[in-house]
Structure 1
Amino acid sequence: MARIYISLGSNINKAHNVRQGIAAMGEFISDFAVSDVFESESVGFDGSNFYNLVCGGETSLSVDEVCQTLRQIEVDNGRDRSAKKFSSRTLDLDLLVYDALVVEKPAQLPRHEIDKNAFVLWPLAQIAPSIVHPVLNQSYLSLWDNYDKSQQSLWAVEFDWQGII
């Protein structure tokens, strides 16, 4: 079994899509953990605010299978794969960490944005505080503690899971 962490974001019908994404990931992840839900402004384009969170747990899927599964979940929930990189989306799922694997394909692992975006690092530090980033050799909590929090505006929101987790 591999320990994985996945970021989830949505800024289109975001409450519904967050619930759908969590429910779908619960199908292939055991020992499931979910961070708080955070709201943030769009990064890289002018769009409505995003809901963001990180979930993690264990899976028997290979890294290739996890990436394929995440893409299918996005498509099943209305994600337009032909849209511009920086644009509104129903569901954005990114594999952040797969054990301590360091690779560029099928996905960049660990994902480069972990220490760059508050909406990834804060929720990851919540559910994996003592896990060490395999390249930076610092725990996610340490990375969050040292993060320049003036870079991006981010706040926790109350979220009604409606029995999803």
Structure 2
Amino acid sequence: MKLHTTALAIAATLTVPGIAFAANTINFSGEVTDQTCSAVVDGNTDPTVILDSVPVSALNGTVGMTTGETSFTLQLTGCAAASSDEHFTTLFQATNATTSGNLTNTAVSGATGVALQLLDGPAGAPVNLAGGAAVEVGDIVLTNGQTSASYDYAVQYISEDTTVTPGPVLGSATYTLRYE
């Protein structure tokens, strides 16, 4: 019995170091700046942009068909008054991008063949979010003496297959504001 307990203790000791010495790295990144602003999207700190419902027929038949463009505003508020024009760059990163650089539909039992496409402004150019890297989109300018600024973006449905089926559509992207 004593030999069996010792063998189990040795086996446990040999397996624990593999877990304890795993490469567990946490990277932290920050910045110290003289400008502090709060960012809101369409007036909300935890935003959801609601797109209008669109018919399947508006997306069926051809890859790359778009419809349902919806604008949203990224606003900086509570900034220290600028003594000269100050620039902020918005960096968007898809939570789950398609190979075409759009936002994957993550809705459970959602529409198929469709994704969401981020635009650099209303009626603007598509933003390619493929590859997982953050993409610079837009220059928010806080003008001399001002304490708030805003920039308009848009999002729309895009077909990524010739056949689109009906259902809910959800997508997400993270954004970071970088003070220049």
TM-score (norm 1): 0.25
Normalized per residue, which structure has more helix? 1
Normalized per residue, which structure has more strand? 2
Structure with larger Rg: 2
TM-score (norm 2): 0.24
